[in-house]
Amino acid sequence: MNDTSALDTIQPLTLRAETAAEMMMSNPVSIRDNATVQEAVAFFTDKGFSAAPVIDEAGRPIGVLSRTDIIVHDRERPAPVPGYYKEARPISQSAERAPRVMHSGCVDTTRVADIMTPVVFSVTPEAPASRVVEEMVDLRVHRLFVVDGSGVLIGVVSALDILKRLLPS
């Protein structure tokens, strides 16, 4: 048996950033509060995102929308009754099994503001990098938003942004 444990071979890591500004991704893509859920689904699908800040018309973050929020919304929505159950009128016995209308045309017009998580965890660009990490751990979140002095969204620090800046000492 080898007496050297795996922990003995691990090198300590150092965070190579002093402030949130050094770690953040500038000009993050966001979604407007008045967008529909269908637009948000297309946005997440096209961009490959799992979450995005929700901003008002002034560019201030007012919440976060995640795929989980959309799934919960979809699950809680009553399932629409397909139109062919309402509109099909059989003209013969064989037609009883063939619906005349195949699409109900139900469109979800729910707005992002109605299903988003209405909490924004943010820091300023000058926030110490160690504080950013501590807050993400304490709050159990995957990202913190970076806002300027007037509260306008200017960046985001994700867990991946932090990992990219961890280097062996």
For 38-69, what is each residue's pLDDT tens digit?
A: 999 999 999 998 899 999 988 889 999 999 99
* pLDDT surpasses 70 at 116: yes
Is pLDDT at 10 greater than 60 in this prediction?
yes
3-state secondary structure 51-85: EEEEECCCCCEEEEEEHHHHHHHHHHCCCCCCHHH
Closest to 53 measured CA to CA, from 113, 110, 133, 129: 113
Q: Judge whether 41 lies within some domain.
A: yes
Mean pLDDT for all residues in the chain: 85
**Does 103 fall in a domain?**
yes
In this structure, is residue 3 part of a structural domain? no
What is the CATH classification number for the domain harbouring 126? 3.10.580.10
Containing structural domain, residue 119: 15-76+83-168
Number of C-beta neighbours around residue 162 at 10 A: 18
Alpha-carbon gap, residue 103 to 133, rounded angstroms = 49
pLDDT: is 13 or 79 the higher one? 13
Closest CA to 64 of 122, 129, 21, 133: 122
The answer as to whether 22 is a domain residue is yes
Q: Give a yes or no: residue 4 inside a domain.
A: no
Rounded Cα gap, residues 150 and 153, in angstroms: 9
pLDDT of residue 159: 95
**Is 46 inside a domain boundary?**
yes
Helix, strand or coil, per DSSP, at residue 45 = helix
Can you list the positions of beta strands (E) in 69-136?
A: 122-123
| pLDDT tens track for 84-115 | 555 555 555 554 554 444 444 567 789 999 99
pLDDT for 77: 81
Is residue 49 a part of any domain in this protein? yes
**pLDDT digit string, tens, across residues 129-144:** 999 999 999 999 999 9
Domain count, the chain: 1
Q: What is the pTM of this model?
A: 0.72
